[in-house]
Amino acid sequence: MLTCAAMRELLDRALDTASARGASYADVRLVRRLEESIAVKTGRLEGLASSESEGFGVRVLVDGAWGFAASHLLTLDEADRVAALAVRIARASATALRRSVVLDDRPPAHGRYETPVAEDPFALPLDVKIADLLTADRAMADVKGIAFTDSLYRAQREWKSFAATDGSDTEQVITHVGAAIEANAIDGDEHQRRSYPDAGGAFQAAGYEYVRSLDLAGQAERHAEEAVALLSAPQCPAGRTTIVLHPSQLYLQVHESCGHPTELDRVFGTEASYAGTSFLTPDKLASGFRYGSDLVDIVADATAPGGLGTFGWDDEGVAAQAVPLVRAGIFVGYLSSRETAPRIGRRSGGAMRADGWDRIPLIRMTNINLLPKPGMSLDEIVQDTDDGLFLASNRSWSIDDRRLNFQFATEVGYEIKGGKLGRLFRNPTYTGITHEFWRSCDAVGDERSYVMLGTPNCGKGEPGQTGHVGHGVPGARFRNVQVGVGKW
Amino acid sequence: MVSQPSRDPAARAGSGRSGGPDWLFLAEELLRLAEHDGATAAEALVMAEDSALTRFANSEIHQNVAERNGRLNLRYVVGRRVGVASSDRLDDAGLRALVERAGRVARLAEERDEAVALGEPGPLPEAAGAFSEATADASPELRAGAVRAVIAAADTAGVVAYGSFATTTETVAVASSPGIRAIEARTHARLVTVQMAPDGGSGYAEAAAADVTAIDGAAVGREAADRASRTRNPVSIEPGDYPVVLEPYAVVDLLGTLGFLGFSALAVEEGRSFAEPGRRIGSDLVTIWDDGLDPAGLPMAFDYEGVGKRRVSLVERGVCRDMVYDAATAARAGRRSTGHGLPAPNPWGPFPLNLFMAPGEASRDELLGGLERGLLVTRFHYTNPVHPKLAIVTGMTRDGTFLVERGRIVAPVRNLRFTQSYLAALAGVEAVGRERRTLLGDLGAAVVPAIRVAAFTFTGATEH
């Protein structure tokens, strides 16, 4: 761990070397990341892990092309080597360049940001966190018919120093915590699971108070019993029907069908060979493309309390902000960077984020939120529905390379009849085309149902990066949706 | 490259590649510190990486990165308790802090019923072809040159090139209380490209090898450009059941997914796997194994517990045979690890990272010739299990889907969504190609042929 003065010297050295070698712009991030995880399996502590990572990455512009290099060795000699390598790489990039990079003119960034934390998860004794998770997991494992349970707790804290040749200089301390419990029931070839709040864990930018608020132990038995009940539940019927999505599924629908297609680097093709491109091309921005119904308001809000995409500045020094993506159903904006925004005549929306010190920043989701609508809570939407399916807790996801054709499976589905939840169905699935689906949205929950969820496992980029992104969602209803896909 | 450590501490500083650390010395030092700290047993794992990747889009390089990292992972055992800590701080204070954290975590852990299983020492095989100097020394200029060759092929065909070219050196070192001392440097290079035509065409090609000189950028570029040119103006077809020929790029997803879902001893132990020795899951033409030592793949001599790789027969003529084990699952089963452990902590269990599917006898024309009316699928996109135990998977086709009638390609088609049991697909294999490709997917390396499957269920379509 470096002292503040040594850290400052390393940042300055990297920038000076990059400039001396010919960079017209350079920035450097020094990141220290601390992670702690607890894994419990079937009532027993399965794994305890603590991880620490520290290093720096230098990004340079030379002859209009990017270069990036990174190292875990925090020495001045290494700062020289890495900065020089980044410049050499940029020069190699320039040999296959058709359009020089132009950055927008954001003002230099200065300041400090820290995630508000009431109960520091790293200061709390480990045995307290273990005991909480064991209690919840055992409450699931004790339910008759459960084959095995899996529960997890994770916390991550990142100290990030950013400096750039334009004089920018910021410090951030970001803390994320999350947890989940999961019960599995197996009978022959049938394997069913129920998780709470989400199979991969529900996470927020917060302290341990967030984990306490989940009341894992209080939710355990009900979810485990539901896993067992699913084994003998009828298969979800096939056909077109109304579906009501619980936030535990709706957040991923927003993630896949709105978050990713509004990433402007993807729109310009830089993810084409990996995750794909986007149907939301710039001509649709100009023409006011109808993405969804009038009820659909989606915003990328890096200032939202508790979101995994909440910060002070992005990883190229652009201040956190709220950017409308869909307003009253009309497509109005993108997630963008200093390089991509000018190409559509805008300034960066501050969405450049890197997975640690060793990765280059990419356009990533911040908190992509479906805004609540006054009127009905999620329960009242169900009561307002004559016939349909209530779907909760994501089980699998898939969407095409332009983010149009999607298919999701949820852990649980309930029949809705006359405004009441009825029979339980297993293996529910639904599928559709993004804009047709969102245009069929005829009810969005109000503030009472609005929750901040998200995922710490959003994959993007080559080399691969894992992003922490938030999604505030209230639950919503969609008409005439194809459900029960495939042969069972 | 498997070796024993130097005994001269003075020789260790700067004795690694490029003047970097001596990774096995670091692993041994970490082990020594853990044992001195009170660990009754420990395992020190070092994963060092020197990697670079050049990425291109719109027929120009838009991202070009390099990284050097060394990661230390310590399993610290106290009696029947175990804790894991990791760090990339390599200085003396960093090592001591790592030992302190791992020890603290271990002492808080619950006592297990059984002893903590670390890898058992044994003879380490040589993995010929695992390391290539050329790959380790690959420069930004070399990668840019190959990318220019891909772009030139795209320019010639009037299409636009996207893709990436990665070169990686991974050094893995393990030192453990049971006596394992292992170090190996492995390299791999991977070039992928998607090429797009202005009128809806899209084509894919990929090459992977331990030795970067085996990758021909121009050839990869031409293959993708040819597909992109042939998929212009695709037609729509109705979803439904079709016989298919799956190119190796699609087959690698099928094998990797089945490896993830079922070929692990832990998955079997927990009852979530389809695999069961003696159970038929494929046609007679399906034989699958894992072999970390076969130079046709991307070899590795030992796993992340320092246990030598063994060839494991997974499916023989359609019938499940064995599964892969790590130290923990092997100890519970009363047998030896097969060398398939991942870094701790590892909730997924052992994993087959070097899959092979036996080639058949069919030429490409013979594979297509068996389709009266069916589809040729180049690759899958964004696949995900809908029902893991039944291996029902959904995903899209991408970058080259063709309608085949009476054995001949008659039109490119818009992409389709499938919802299909991969086990049922194996059961429906009616021909296997005689050529195989070495590919590096998200779930490890695989050497796979093209296959023809009697029926594949497509459940939806998209607009391109």
CATH number of the domain within which B88 lies: 3.30.2290.10
Same domain, B21 and B154: yes
Q: Are A433 and B462 a contacting pair at CB < 8 A? A: yes
A235 touches chain B (CB under 8 A): no
Contact state of A89 with B66 under an 8 Å Cβ cutoff: yes
Give domain status of residue B202, yes or no: no
Nearest CA in chain B to A150: B347
Domain boundaries, chain A: 4-231, 239-483
Same domain, B252 and B157: no
Q: Are B285 and B429 within one domain?
A: yes
Angle (CA) B250-B254-B258 rounded to 5° is 165
- What's the total number of domains in chain B? 2
CB contact (8 A) between residue B61 and residue A268: no
A44 at interface of B, judged by CB pairs closer than 8 A: yes
Position B201 pLDDT exceeds 60: yes
pLDDT digits (tens, 9 = 90+) for A321-336: 999 999 999 999 999 9
pLDDT of residue B2: 39
Q: What is the ipTM of this complex?
A: 0.92
Residues B23 and B120 in one domain: yes
The CATH number assigned to the domain with range A4-231 reads 3.30.2290.10
CA distance A402 to chain B (A): 8
A64: left (phi over 0), alpha (psi -120 to 50) or beta: left
Which chain B residues are within 8 Å of A463, Cβ to Cβ?
51, 53, 65, 67, 166
Q: Nearest residue of A to residue B151 by CA position? A: A96
Q: Which residues contact A123 (CB under 8 A, 6 or more apart)?
A: none
Query: What is the phi/psi pair of residue A315, to 5°?
Result: -85, 15
Which of B47, B54, B59, B63 is best to mutate for the A interface (most A CBs within 10 A)?
Answer: B63
Closest alpha carbon within chain A to B204:
A273
A463 vs B53: CB contact, 8 Å cut-off? Answer: yes
Residues B257 and B157 in one domain: no
Which has more pLDDT, B288 or B346? B288
SS3 sequence, chain A? CCCHHHHHHHHHHHHHHHHHCCCCEEEEEEEEEEEEEEEEECCEEEEEEEEEEEEEEEEEEECCEEEEEEECCCCHHHHHHHHHHHHHHHHHHHCCCCCCCCCCCCCCCEEEEECCCCCCCCCCCHHHHHHHHHHHHHHHHCCCCCCEEEEEEEEEEEEEEEEECCCCEEEEEEEEEEEEEEEEEEECCEEEEEEECCCCCEEECCCHHHHHHHCHHHHHHHHHHHHHHHHCCCECCCEEEEEEECHHHHHHHHHHHHHHHHEHHHHCCCCCCCCCCCCCCHHHHHHCCECCCCCCCEEEECCCCCCCCCCCECCCCCECCEEEEEECCEECCCECCCCCHHHHCCCCCCCEECCCCCCCCEECCCEEEECCCCCCCHHHHHHCCCEEEEEEEEEEEEECCCCCEEEEEEEEEEEEECCEEEEEEECCEEEEEHHHHHHCEEEECCHHHCEEEEEEEEEECCCCEEEEEEEEECCEEEEEEEECCCCC
Q: Which among B45, B51, B61 is the top mutation candidate for probing chain A, defined by the most A β-carbons within 10 Å of its own β-carbon?
A: B61
CB of B110 within 8 Å of a chain A CB? The answer is yes
Contacts of B294 (CB under 8 A, 6+ apart): B311, B354, B356, B447
Residue B260 and residue B146 share a domain: no
Task: Compare all CA atoms of chain B with the CA of A129 and give the residue at the minimum distance.
Answer: B108
Q: Which of A67, A273, A405 sits opposite B64 (nearest CB)?
A: A67
Quick check: is B379 in a domain? yes
Q: Is A253 left (phi over 0), alpha (psi -120 to 50) or beta?
A: alpha
- Average pLDDT value over all residues in chain B: 93
A77: contact with B, CB 8 A cutoff: no
Chain B partners within 8 Å of A85 (Cβ) = 66
Q: Which tokens belong to B128?
A: 């010929």
Reported as a single tens digit per residue, the pLDDT across B342-359 is 999 888 899 999 999 999
Q: Which tens digits make up the pLDDT trace of A15-74?
A: 999 999 999 999 999 999 999 999 999 998 888 888 889 999 999 999 999 999 999 999
| B461 and B383 together in one domain | yes
Whether B164 and B289 map to the same domain: the answer is no
Residue B113 pLDDT grade (very low, low, confident, very high; cuts 50, 70, 90) = confident
User: Does residue B1 carry a pLDDT above 60?
Assistant: no
Q: Which residues contact A429 (CB under 8 A, 6 or more apart)?
A: A236, A407, A408, A409, A410, A483, A484, A485, A486, B386, B394, B419
Question: Buried b / exposed e across B51-84, counting CB within 10 Å, b at 16+?
Answer: bbbbbbbbbbbbbbbbbbbbbbbbbbbbeebbbb
B1 is a domain residue: no
Average pLDDT over residues B396-412: 97
Residue A341: its pLDDT value, please?
A: 98
In a domain, B206, yes or no: no
Choose the mutation target among B47, B53, B62, B137 for the interface with A, i.e. most A CBs under 10 Å: B62
Choose among A268, A399, A486: nearest Cβ to B392. A486
Whole-number Å distance between alpha carbons of A313 and A302: 9
Write out pLDDT tens, residues A168-202: 999 999 999 999 999 999 999 999 999 999 888 99
With residue B251 as reference, give the H or E element that holds it.
helix B248-261
Contact A272 B457 (CB under 8 A): no
Interface of A with B in 129-148 (CB under 8 A): 130, 147-148
CA neighbor of B462 nearest in space, from B222, B202, B272: B202
Which domain range does residue B294 map to?
Answer: 234-464
